[in-house]
Amino acid sequence: MTFTLQELATTSGGELVGDPLLQITGAASLAEATPGEISFFANRKYIGLLRKTRASAVFVPTDFGEPITPAQIRVSNPTKAFEQVVFKFAPKPITFAAGIHPSAVVDRSAQLGERVSIQPHAVVEAGARIGDDTIIGAGSYVGHETTIGSACLIYPRVTIRERSRIGSRVIIHSGAVIGADGFGFEMVDDRQQKIQQLGIVQIDDDVEIGANTTIDRARFGRTWIRQGVKIDNLVQIAHNVVIGKDSVIVAQSGISGSTRVGQRVMMGGQVGIVGHLEIGDGTAIGAQSGVSKSTRGGAWFGSPAVPLAEAKQQIAWIHRLGKLFARVKEIEKKLGL
């Protein structure tokens, strides 16, 4: 498939600087693009890649003014414009026919909406309810009395345990486990005894959950992932945790039991949060931070995590320790110590 540069500029509503008849045959990143392909530039830290790119054309911001060899399409949002072009060149999406595959096991009491697709070897237990246009991938498990809303995409080999509540337009990637028992034990007669986990997991509309992520059921009540939350791969969310609307949690993070995370919180990779904390709305937590006390928003970093300005100061002090030790040693030498 081929488009002229003018066609792409018209589609994106951008201002063209270059040959309108230039043929574009594909889309790629600045580093990987080859002649005939279009790329995008949206962040100043990639200016070096822009100057070296082999792309024939680049989406750039409307105020971009540097001289570059590739043709330009100036748009308000280069990332979004590039995404639209990628869709034009991408293969057609995979589709799944409605119906139940002969190898799937669906209990007679399960209620399926219109155009539901149950793929090979999936299991849907008694009392489950699945909304219109939802896809249950191959080998996935939907537990007893679980509710799944409309237009959800459950990829292969997802486990959704009993009585979980899943909203609409939810995406759950392979290997995720929703509703495993919370990690609860107490010492009785010098032995660890299991505390029964009687609650549920509730996942609201428009949530996406990455591969091999685990979200534990509550001890009582619910573990609650609220609307619009995006969770990366390999994240652990413990019992009775609440994640506020539109928060983002990056890979290998872990949130201990009964912590409440506010709205629009951003957690970098490998963040660890102890239990029973309150993470305020709009908090940003840097990668590999360990959070041991509640926050009220703002940026936090370090282990234990502190406000970002304080963390930067501490890092600067640590980097100066070598020079400080050398100065002290020199002073001691002069004093004969």
Q: Give pLDDT tens digits for 245-260.
A: 999 999 999 999 999 9
DSSP output for 135-171 = EE-TT-EE-TT-EE-TT-EE-TT-EE-TT-EE-SS-E
Q: Give the model confidence (pLDDT) of 94-105 as tens digits.
A: 999 999 999 999
Distance CA 240, CA 255 (A): 10
pLDDT bin (cut points 50, 70, 90) of residue 93 is: confident
Q: pLDDT (tens digit, 9 = 90+) per residue, 195-245?
A: 999 999 999 999 999 999 999 999 999 999 999 999 999 999 999 999 999
Q: Measure the CA–CA gap between 29 and 53, rounded to whole angstroms.
A: 9
- pLDDT on residue 98: 97
Those residues whose C-beta lies under 8 Å from the C-beta of residue 139, and which sit 6 or more positions away, are: 119, 120, 121, 122, 156, 157
pLDDT for 91 beyond 90: no
**Active-site residue among 173, 239, 276, 319?**
239
CB-based contacts of 109, cutoff 8 Å, min separation 6? 126, 127
Q: What is the arithmetic mean of pLDDT over 270-280?
A: 98
190 dihedral zone (left: phi>0; alpha: psi -120 to 50; beta): left
DSSP string, 224-259: EE-TT-EE-SS-EE-TT-EE-TT-EE-TT-EE-TT-
- Please report the pLDDT score of residue 278 as a whole number: 98
Task: Give me the pLDDT at residue 159, please.
Answer: 98
pLDDT reading at 92 higher than 90: no
pLDDT at 337: 79
Categorise residue 295: left if φ over 0, alpha if ψ from -120 to 50, beta otherwise: beta
pLDDT surpasses 90 at 336 = no
Give the mean pLDDT of the chain. 96
Q: Is 101 a catalytic residue?
A: no
User: Average pLDDT of 173-186?
Assistant: 97
pLDDT of 207 reads 98
Go through the domains of the chain in sequence order and give each one's CATH number: 3-89 (3.40.1390.10), 99-308 (2.160.10.10)
What's the CA gap between 225 and 213, in Å, rounded?
13
pLDDT of amino acid 128: 98
Paired tokens of 252: 């290998």
The band of 1, judged by pLDDT with boundaries at 50, 70 and 90, is confident
Residue 61 has pLDDT above 90, yes or no: yes
Q: What is the mean pLDDT of residues 160-182?
A: 98
Residue 63's SS3 state is: coil
Mean pLDDT of 83-89: 92
Res 65: pLDDT: 87
CB 61 within 8 A of CB 74: yes
pLDDT tens-digit map of 9-29: 999 999 999 999 999 999 999
